[in-house]
Each structure stands twice: as C-alpha cells, then as structure tokens.
Structure 1
Amino acid sequence: MLFTLGVNHKSAPVGIRERVVFSPDRMEEALSGLTQSTPVEEAAILSTCNRTEIYFRSEDHQPADRVLHWMSDFHRLKPSEIQPYIYRHQDADAVRHLLRVACGLDSLVLGEPQILGQLKGAYQTAGSAGTVGRQLGRLFQHAFSVAKNVRTSTAIGSSPVSVAFAAVSLARQIWGDMKPLTALMIGAGETIELAARHLKTHQIGRIIVANRTVERARPLAEEFDAEIITLPEIPSRLPEADILISSTASPLPILGKGAAERALKARKHRPMFMVDIAVPRDIEPEVGRLDDVYLYTVDDLEEVIQDNLQSRREAAQQAEEIIESQVSSFMGWLRAQDAVSTIRAYRGKAHSIQLEVLDKALQMVAAGKSAEEALGFLAHTLTNKLLHEPCHNMNQAAREGKLELIDAAHALFNLPEAGDGGRSSDS
C-alpha cells in the first residue's frame, strides 16, 4: 500500500513547517532511519519552505502512526505538537496527491513549476539512499510524466502570476533574446531577488544592482554575478540599462524625467523597458510619457496577474481531469502487481509438468516406441496434468456454491457461455 503523510502551507503555519524541515545534509540519514525503524519498505521525503511530505510504501495496515512518531522523534518534537497539522493519504488518494503536487496544483502559487524540480531532487536523493523500489519509483516516474503532459497540453504554466515573473515576462515580450541585454535592478529586497532569478533563468547578459547600501546588496550581487552601484550613481549608469526594475521603500521617486531623457539621448533612443514595483512609486509617472520608454507600474502588473490567474484556474480544471484518468491508470498497474507472483508460480508449475512429461516421452522414443506414439502420449498426458487440478477445483467450488470461482474461470480461460458450445440448432 502507498501512503503520504505531511504538512503544507494550507495545513500548518510557518512556525510549525519550519520545525519539521529535513535539511539536505541529513536527508539520506533520515531516509535510512525511517526504513530501518518503521514498517516502511520504500520512502522518499520532499521538504521545502511550503511543505514537508513523506511518501512511502508499507504492507503494514496502519503504518502512518509509526511514521508520525518517527518524524516527531527525528525533529525532537512530541507527536501531539504536529498531529493537528498532519494530513494523510492512502493508495489512490496518495497517488492523486503526488500528481497534484507535481503539476503545481497544490502550490501556494497555482501552477508554479519549481515544485517539479524539487520533487525530482527528492526522488534522486531517495534513490541514492536506496529507499526507492519498484512501486514508489514507478509512481514518481508516472508523476513526472503526468506533470509534463499537463504542462504541454494545458496553459497551467504559461501565464505569469507573480509580480517579478510578470515583469520579466513582459520584458521578454518586448526584447525577445535577453543575452545581449543589461538589467538595472534598484533595491535588494525579495521581489528584486526573485526578478533577478527569473532574468538569470532567461540568460540575461548582465545585471547591475543599485542600492542605498552596498553591503545590503552584496549577497544578491554574489548570487547573480552582478555589479553593485549606489543610488547616486544611477543617472550616470542609466544609459546602459535596457531593462530597469525598481522596488525600494523610498518615500520619494528615485528616477525622474530629466535623468531618463538624458539616458535616452545617450542610448540614441534605443528603447528602455521599466517596471516600477514600489509603492509609493520609485519612478516619476512623467517618465512613461517619453518616447522609447515602456513603463509599467505595480497596478499594470496586477491586472496582468489577475487575468493570468483566471487563465491558470481554467487550465487547472483541465489538469484535474488529466490527473483523475492517470490515477486510475496507475492504480490499475498497481493492482496488476498483485497478480505477478501468482502468474509466475503458475508458469513455473506448468513448466515443471512440461519437463516431466517431455522426459517420459523421450524415454519412450529411446525404448523403441514410434514418434507418433510418443507425441500422442505427450499431448494427452500434458493436457490431463494441466487440466486436472483446475477442473477438480471448479467441480469442488460448484458443489460448495462458490459460483464466483466458476465465473472467474470463464473469464480467465475465455470460455464460451453455456449453450455456446457449438451445438447444432434445430431446423
């Protein structure tokens, strides 16, 4: 049986989520401990800022309580401290949950793509720890395939739904190829960091970070290989900026119309794309009236985001339909695994009978019997031996009223219904 146990941004506040995070450097240790100290045969752990989830397989009927106690012990917590925030899923519900997570349908930002990469990382780590086997491995591969299908067949990820993502997406629409471009980022907060990450993803040529203090901007500059300048340097460096994104807490505008006009003149009126995310605004509204300046405010982006959120919600409905059909597909494969050992045993038994009868037929030929006589013995004896036990058991089942076994035999052996045995009709 397959299970999921975890907490996420919907079930638990950040104060709880941060207490159950599995750090990357202890992940393999955790996986080994989980499989050694609980009735868990296979396991993988996904741990991000928004969720910590344990995916596992167990033949125990109630393994979730044991896993919850192990999780509490690992983080030195009492089970009662996290029990109210925990959700549990089993079999089809566990499969459905993982597929929804992989497709971004369970994320804080609907349809966000980062979670799929995090899931792949969790799967690889579990593989390295040796805790992923046939069933869980097949489930994760199925989830990755479904997520790819949802991405390509719906619009779930095609529309930006964060301010930073929307800003960079608009820049791409205007400029196309970003490799030859320079971006000037004013500020060093979370939105600027996220926008810089999106720019790097799209291979921006160069990033300049302008901030009131150099030290505050240093971590950002180091992460994105950016140059740091101070706010007073902006006018002299502005002509280099093809893209400008500003998000500061300044009570007064940082960039005025005069500085923008001089920059455009120095650029020989090559266009500039500007996004003012700040409230109050960092860029004077008059800048947007200049030719060759494309200025967007946070209100402009919010309108784009709301339209795109509606688009994603519609796409999410399509994704849910795909997921439901794929849950059924995977559960069918899972049920088929229960028959594998029976099929293998039945084939093995038939093969043993075959060898036994073939050996006797060869002995007959060696003793001087004709090939026809030996083949007749082989066909007759092999048929009788293969049919004896099934026929005896069906007869016994009928005597005991176990008619469901008779129906199963009809289906298994593809037998004609009663009365379809080729009898001639009266005419």
Structure 2
Amino acid sequence: MIQMIGLKKGLDLSIRGQLTVAKSQRGEAIKGMLEFCQEAVIISTCNRTEIYFNSQEDSTNSINRIFSVLKWDEALIKYIFHLNESDAARHLMEVVCGFHSSILGEEQILGQVKEAYNYSLEEGAVSGALQRLFQNAITCGKEFRTKAKIYDIPVSSASIVVNYAMKRQCKSFMVIGYGDIGYLAVKYLLSHGVSKVYVVVRNTKKITDLVDNRVKIMDFKDKNRFIHKVDCIISCTSAPHYIIKKEDICEDKKLLIFDLAVPRDVEAAVEEYSKVQLLDIDTISKIDDENKKLRKERMEGCREIIKKHLAEYEEWSKLRDILPYIKEMKRVSEKVSKDRIDTFINKSETKDHRELAEVLIKSTSDFYVNRAIEVLKEAKLEGSEEQCLKIVEKIFKLMT
C-alpha cells in the first residue's frame, strides 16, 4: 500500500527544523525504513520534508517506526499528516507541479523530486508501485511545466532574494552553499551585473563552472575574513548547525542576510544589530513577486494534466496483478512467431514462398483458435461456459 507522511502547513520554522533528513543521513534512513517497508523515497529540501513508502502496516505503526528510524521526537507526531494510495499519489503529482510549494510554482521542486527518486533507485529502495508512481509523477511534472509555461514567469527563492537585494542597491554578495539554490543565486547575481560574489563551499575543487573574475571561491574557514566586504549574504546550506553567528558580524556594518536553510544557517541573535536585516525562508515566501496571480491562473488551467497522469497510474495499479499473465502471453506469442519464422527461413529455398507463407500464417491463426476451442470445451464441461463465451466473443470481435 502506497503511503506518505509530510509536514502540516503553517508550522514554525523551529519545528520544521527538527523534522528534516540531512543528505548525509538519507542512506541510513532508507536502509532503516526498508526493514518494514517494501519501498521508500525521502524528499527533504529547505522547505519540505515528505516520505513516501510502500507498506502494509497501518498509519499509526508506520509513522511511529519512521520517527524511530529517523530519531525524531515523537512529541512532534502531531505536526505530521498522512495519506494513503490515490490521495498520496495525487499529492505527489501536485507537489511536482508546484502547487504545494511555499512559493507557488517554484522551479526547483521537480528537480528535487527527481533527485530523491534517483537516489532511492540507486539504493535499490524502489522497484514496484512506488517506482511507477514516481515515474508517472515526474513525467506529469515535466508536461505540466511545459504546458503551463511556468518558465515564462521564473520564480524561485533564489530569484526573489536576488531581486529584493538588487532593489536595495546591494552591490557585493556572499553565497554560502552551492547546491541547487546556491547555483541559481549566483547565476541570477551575475546576470544582474553585480561587482563581486564570494562563494563559500566545503570543497572548492568541486566548483568548476564558475569562470568569472567577479567570483571568488573560498572554503568555510576563510569566509569571516570577507563578510565585512559584502552588502548581502545568501546562505543555503544543509548544515545541522549555525553557519553564521552573531560574533561573525560587524555591528556597524549595514548588512542584508537571507537564510534559505532549514534548519537555519544564521543565528537569530544577529538581528540584535540595528544595521542587520535578517530574512528567513518563511519571510521570503511572503515577499513573492507580482506574478503570483498569473502563475496561479496558468497552473489551475492545467490541472487536467494531473488528472490524466493520476488516472494512468491508477489504471496501472489496478491492472498490475495481471501483468505477469500479460507478460507470459507475449512470451508465448513471440515463441509461436519465432517458430514459424524459423520454418520459413529453413524451407524458403525448397518451397514456393507464397504457398509457404499461407501455410505458416494459417498455422499461427489455428494455434490460437484451437486453444480457444479447447478452453471453451473445458468451460462447458465445468459449467462455466457463459463467462468464457463472453471473453472469447470479445477477443475475436476485436480481431476482426
């Protein structure tokens, strides 16, 4: 049974920070879940934690075991919602299309879902119904974004904070972390023609795509030497601890700080400095731009795409029990065809081609007709011919 748990909307950032799964912990978490689930995918981003799994256990047991595996405080269970089967499938498809993002229609979620799915795939954690659901959902997300033309109205936390900073005349920036959001932030900053961007990462050798004399790449131990040189900091790491503390900031320096991380990267105490403005991910989500209404109209107009892909998944789910029989039917069909092709090849030099083809084609037809006759006779003798007749009638009407 496909199930999922996620965080209820409107939770305080401090609570959301306790219900995350760091990338470094994801492998162990999935391994633990597979002890009681058949499949598992963990989506954990700066503003979302959702866990999809395939298990026959009821919701209460599943949630308790997941909390135990992830070492989450069970007192926080009240902040979790749980969905089953079609409700879980519909939710995932709405997620990949951007309906449940704090910034409506934001660009990163589809890529984040794909990354989470691919990770579970590599770990052998998806192989059945959950695998099919994510494949359908990712396809749905791609079609939705193409048809809704969300790319015409670019929106992400990175684009919002850069636009906000540029309106406040910020000239030099420090971007801490170079994942999806950090990458986009640097891209937007350079396109706006900023004078300097300091990029802070754990391993400077991994950054090979930033060839620009306005960019200086450094590791964490050097960042405090340059903080006083920037007008704005954009922090977006997955660190479990503070990256910037109050003592790292100069009290007399006017500074705009965006903390896009969950858990938080920046100690709240830095706001005690009168010249520092600190905005967290929740505040940034409220800023949004004037295109929000247009995005919503376009997205609502494309909901049929979600319905279509959800129907495809549900049809597959209903039919999956007979898939082994379909596979076996195709195997038999291929064998029948191969036997006759081999016969044609072997006898084509000694027989008339037209006559040989007619014989082999008729023998192929006879193979299935004779088998249908045998099954019908067996059904008659067992007293179940009525249902069998209906099936045979449908098959042969389709074949005419």
TM range (shorter): 0.5 to 0.7
Residue 200 of structure 1, aligned match among 170, 178, 186: 186
Amino acid at match of 1:329: E
Aligned ranges 1:154-233 → 2 under 5 Å: 154-156=148-150, 158-159=152-153, 165-166=159-160, 168=162, 183-184=171-172, 199-202=185-188, 204=190, 206-207=195-196, 217=227
* Cα distance, 1:34 vs structure 2: 1.3
Q: Give 1:115's match in structure 2, choosing from 88, 109, 112.
A: 109
CA distance in 1, matches of 2:336, 2:10: 58
Instruction: Map Cα deviations across residues 179-201 of structure 1 (whole Å, 9 max, x no partner).
Output: xxx9335xx899xxx99875512
Question: Identity percentage over the alignment?
Answer: 23
1:44 aligns with 2:32: no
Aligned match of 1:124 in 106, 118, 121? 118
**1:264-323 C-alpha deviation (Å, 9 max, x unpaired):** xxxxxxxxxxxxx999xxxxxxxxxxxxxxxxxxxxx99995631111211220232221
Alignment of 1:104 with 2:92, yes or no, is no
* Equivalent position to 1:68, from 44, 63, 70: 63
Structure 1 residue identity aligned to 2:141: A
- Secondary structure of the residue that 2:42 maps to in structure 1? strand
Comparing 26-35 with 214-223, greater Cα deviation is found at 214-223
For these two proteins, the number of residue pairs brought into alignment is: 325
Cα separation, partners in 2 of 1:11 and 1:386, compared to 1, 3 Å: farther
Residue among 314, 320, 325 paired with 2:308: 325
Find the counterpart in structure 2 of residue 237 from structure 1.
none
Per the normalisation by structure 2, the TM-score is: 0.61
Q: Of the candidates 361, 372, 377, which is equivalent to residue 392 of structure 1?
A: 377
- Tell me the CA shift for residue 343 of structure 1: 1.9
Shift of residue 70 of structure 1?
1.9
Residues 11-51 of structure 1: per-residue CA shift (max 9 Å, x gap): 7544543333222112111112211x21x222211123433
Letter in 1 for 2:30: L
Deviations 1:53-84 (A, max 9, x none): 222234x3x454443232121134575x3443
Map of 1:17 onto structure 2: 16
- Whole-angstrom distance in 2 between the partners of 1:392 and 1:408: 14
* Unmatched runs of 5 consecutive residues or more in structure 2: 199-222, 237-247, 259-269, 341-354
Per-residue deviation, 1:345:
3.2
Say if 1:43 and 1:57, in contact at 8 Å, map to a contact too: yes
Superposed CA deviations along residues 85-130 of structure 1, whole A, max 9, x for unmatched, are 3333333322221111112111111111122232222123212312
SS in 1 for 2:126: coil
Helix, strand or coil at the partner of 1:111: coil
Q: Which residue of 2 aligns with 1:34?
A: 33
> How many angstroms apart in 1 are the aligned matches of 2:54 and 2:309?
19
Return the letter of the residue paired with 2:299.
Answer: A
Cα separation, partners in 2 of 1:338 and 1:412, compared to 1, 3 Å: farther
2:394 to 411, 417, 420: 411
Check 1:199–1:410 CA distance in 2 against 1; reply closer, same or farther (3 A cut). Answer: same
Q: 1:73 to 1:116 in 2, by over 3 A?
A: same
Quote the offset at 1:354 in angstroms. Answer: 9.7
Where 1:344 maps in the other structure, the secondary structure is helix
AA of the residue aligned to 1:50: N
1:142-199 deviations in whole A, cap 9, x for unaligned?
3233222222222445446689735745999x9xxxxxxx9335xx899xxx998755
Question: Is the CA contact 1:155–1:311 (under 8 Å) kept in the aligned structure 2?
Answer: no
Structure 1 18/352 Cα, relative in aligned 2: closer, same or farther at 3 Å? Answer: same
Q: Is the 8 A contact 2:103 2:157 kept in 1?
A: no
Q: CA RMSD in A?
A: 5.3
- CA deviation after TM superposition for structure 1 residue 353, in Å: 9.0
CA contact (8 A) 1:151 1:157 kept: yes
Distance 1:392 1:85, change over 3 A: farther
Give the letter aligned to residue 322 of structure 2: A
8 Å contact from structure 1 (residues 159, 312) kept in 2: yes
Aligned 8 A contact 1:165 1:198 in 2: yes
Instruction: Indicate the SS of the match to 1:21.
Output: coil
Asked if 2 retains the 8 angstrom alpha-carbon contact of 1:135 and 1:334, the reply is yes
Paired residue type of 2:25: R
**Helix, strand or coil: the match of 1:45?**
strand
Larger Rg: 1
Query: CA separation in 2, counterparts of 1:402 and 1:333?
Result: 28
Task: Find the counterpart in structure 1 of residue 87 from structure 2.
Answer: 93
Q: Normalising by structure 1, what TM-score?
A: 0.57
Deviation at 1:341, TM superposition (A): 0.6
Q: Residue 163 and residue 97 in structure 1: after superposition, are their counterparts in 2 closer, same or farther (change >3 A)?
A: closer
Residue 57 of structure 1 is matched in structure 2 by: 54
SS in 2 for 1:53: strand
